[in-house]
Structure 1
Amino acid sequence: MQHSDASTVPMLTRLSAEQRREQLVSAALSLALRQGLDAVTVRAVADQADVSFGIVHYCFDSKDALVAALIERIITEQLEAFTGDDVLRSMAEPAGIGAQALADRLDATMLSVWRKIAEFPDRWILHSESMVMSFRAEPGSPLHGIGERQNRIAEHFVAQFLQAAAEASAMTWTVPLTTVVGAALQWVDGILYGWLSDRDDDAARSAFELLTGWLCGFARPV
């Protein structure tokens, strides 16, 4: 496929700048899902999106800026596994009060999250790749700090979720949530990496049940 950089720049008028950026990020995501983040180059994204090389450069200052936008998309989609409608419904369903009610709420949420992990494993592999790429990025790069920011967002949500689950169950946490949230997220990451390696669904579900039991050990009735 041949592109005429100068003549195709007016294509930007057909879509808003934001729409064009979203189109290019979607093309980058399609490439990355098939071949990994290393396959995301300006030329490859232009070909995937069927636009000129110049349009990609018009929308993104550099390859790093394009990949950074892609990683932000990956982060947003992965966080939706924890904040989506299924999770909200599991929290809204009546489960009673007390320690068992808290465990049931946590179990329901873990199961919802797990289903999305198992349904889209390639996206979770990209999630891991994006973290490594961010940690390796030099200061000043658009990629620098994305992994750390992702961790902060995840920690904030998990802390809010655990607090809401405890309140709905008439329970309270006996330690500051900051004490357990980081460890819980590391536990989830470990389960994820183990499953990506062996695809053992039963082992992963058992590990999530152990995580629920561990978390409930830090709760008591109000």
Structure 2
Amino acid sequence: MARMPSAERRRQLTEAAIRVMTRDGVDRTTTRAIATEADVSLSVFHYCFDSKQALVESVITTITDHSVTVVRQALRPRSTLEGTVRAGFQAYWDHVLAHPDEHMLTYELTQYALRRPEFAHLARRQYELYGDAYAQLIDQLCRSMDLRLRVPVSVLARYLAAMTDGLTLNYLVLGEDSGWSDILDTVTAHIVGLVAEDPGPRP
């Protein structure tokens, strides 16, 4: 087996864990199954992760990064603010459509963590990551387009996290229909309305 840096090995095992958890469910996922999926020995797994908490946190962080990366790439300034914001939402939504099982896993991870006192901090960490990710994306957009907001970045970030969380769960329950595009248009219009018309101090 070829040697690789520990950070790269952790990434490999985390991606394997995501595949196994998506396929088998969090409760039924074992370290042996993850090691087999990654084609490494159990000793390598335990060298990289000294606890299941560490593995779950790595899975949560990686899944969040998957979504954030596609949105960040889509948020290049366009001719209008509305077009830029809509492109960001569309990039996220396309990721949901392409990887519904991965997004479903995020809700399963939340329930798994909340039902176990020793894991409860990971559920909180999961949603803090969502807020932090949106705050970074908002900052990126404001800097690239010289925007000022009507509300604090922290408030808008938590609002966006709650809104996309709810929309994603709705999609996973209701499935795809023609209404989602109109919903994304509505959300885009609302977010654009939270940008100040006259430049001023950032909140």
User: If the length of structure 2 is used for normalisation, what is the TM-score?
Assistant: 0.80
Residue of 168, 171, 179 corresponding to 1:203: 179
**Closer/same/farther in 2, CA of residues 191 and 60 from structure 1, 3 Å limit:** same
What does residue range 1-150 of structure 1 map to in structure 2 within 5 Å? 14-83=3-72, 85=73, 87-88=74-75, 91-93=76-78, 95=79, 101-138=80-117, 143=122, 145-150=124-129
Q: Which amino acid aligns with 1:69?
A: S
**Distance across 1 between alignment mates of 2:195 and 2:59:** 38
Structure 1 residues 142, 58: CA separation in 2 closer, same or farther (over 3 Å shift)? farther
TM superposition shift of 1:194: 0.9
Instruction: Quote the Cα distance in structure 2 between the aligned partners of 1:92 and 1:166.
Output: 7
Instruction: Quote how far apart the aligned CAs of 1:22 are.
Output: 2.6
Alpha-carbon distance change, 152 to 183 in structure 1, aligned in 2, over 3 angstroms: closer
Among candidates 130, 137, 151, match of residue 151 of structure 1: 130
Cα deviations by residue, 1:35-74 (Å, 9 ceiling, x for unpaired): 2222322122123233332332222212222222222221
In 2, the alpha carbon distance for the partners of 1:92 and 1:148 equals: 27
Question: Taking structure 1 as reference, are residues 177 and 15 closer, same or farther at Cα in structure 2, changes over 3 Å only?
Answer: closer
What are the Cα deviations for residues 128-183 of structure 1, in whole angstroms up to 9, with x where unaligned? 2233344445358884642143133123124314524763xxx6433334343322
What SS class does the counterpart of residue 133 from structure 2 fall into? helix
Determine what percentage of the aligned residue pairs are the same residue.
26
Counterpart residue type for residue 79 of structure 1: V
| CA gap 1:194/1:54 in 2 versus in 1, 3 angstroms | same
Matched, 1:176 2:165: no
Q: Is the 8 A contact 2:64 2:130 kept in 1?
A: no
Alignment coverage as a number of residue pairs: 198
Shift of 1:30: 1.8
Structure 2: distance between partners of 1:175 and 1:66: 36
Distance of 2:114 and 2:137 partners within structure 1: 22
Checking the alignment, whether the CA contact within 8 Å between 1:106 and 1:165 is kept in structure 2 is no
Specify every segment of 5 or more residues in structure 2 that has no aligned partner in the other structure, as ranges. Answer: 199-203
Amino acid at match of 2:173: S
Q: Which structure: larger Rg?
A: 1
Partner of 1:3: none
Distance 1:175 1:144 in 2: 26
- Report if the CA contact (8 A) 2:61-2:126 is conserved: no
Distance 1:142 1:25, change over 3 A: farther
Quote how far apart the aligned CAs of 1:18 are.
2.8
| In structure 1, C-alpha distance between the alignment counterparts of 2:47 and 2:153, rounded to whole Å | 44
Question: TM-score, normalising length from structure 1?
Answer: 0.74
**TM-superposition CA deviations, 1:77-102 (whole Å, max 9, x none):** 1221321x3x14xx333x1xxxxx32
Aligned residue identity for 1:160: D
Identify unmatched segments of 5+ residues in structure 1: 1-10, 96-100
Q: CA deviation at 1:105?
A: 2.2
Contact 2:113–2:120 (Cα < 8 Å) also in 1: no
